[in-house]
Chain A
Amino acid sequence: AQSVTQLDSQVPVFEEAPVELRCNYSSSVSVYLFWYVQYPNQGLQLLLKYLSGSTLVKGINGFEAEFNKSQTSFHLRKPSVHISDTAEYFCALLFSGGYNKLIFGAGTRLAVHP
């Protein structure tokens, strides 16, 4: 079975500091990996996705993620965060043969403090 583990439920950070949100996955088949962001009282918005090719993926709002197959990880990073990045972040995967069902991690709440 496929699963996604987000290693931190909450990450507090000061404005302009770098941040890394950790995501590990488990799957016996090929996967596609995603990061979504959920701002308060809103739906989910796609930040970035890894399908194939270069393992470093750049997304919107200055975020990037690196796919590491040997460590089954897909960590999200930003070199300098802003107050407006305060939100919940979800790592998710699609697997071959799973149609379009996204399997989500539990989420990481990023709190950016001034």
Chain B
Amino acid sequence: EAQVTQNPRYLITVTGKKLTVTCSQNMNHEYMSWYRQDPGLGLRQIYYSMNVEVTDKGDVPEGYKVSRKEKRNFPLILESPSPNQTSLYFCASTSGGIANEQFFGPGTRLTVL
């Protein structure tokens, strides 16, 4: 089954404790991205990757890092989480070519105390 998986689905942590949210897709997609969803703001892009070892900032990259060492994986790293990073996070992937369908993971709900 074609899918995007994220782990963990739920996470409660404390300020300053480094964490990683994993994202993996099994569709051999080149393009992957991370979004955060906040009430009243919709989804905003954090980082994206056009292929292995090619990443760039989205609209709200502050406080986040990513890496793309393999085509299927695109982890999101919070080196020192803060309460304003409490949010619902989605990973997405799509094949090359404009306007192809983006496939979203199930989401990771992060709470930073």
Contacts and interface: CB of A to CB of B under 8 A. Distances in A.
* B: interface residue count bin: 20 to 34
B110 interface: no
Interface of A: 4, 6, 9, 32, 36, 41-46, 49, 51, 90, 92, 94, 96, 99-102, 104-107
Contact of B42 (A42, A49, A106): A106
A51 B4 CA distance: 24
A100 B94 contact: yes
The 7 closest A-B pairs by CB, nearest first: A104-B42, A43-B104, A32-B99, A44-B104, A104-B43, A106-B42, A43-B106
A43 B107 contact: yes
Interface in B51-107: 58-59, 90, 92, 94, 98-102, 104-107
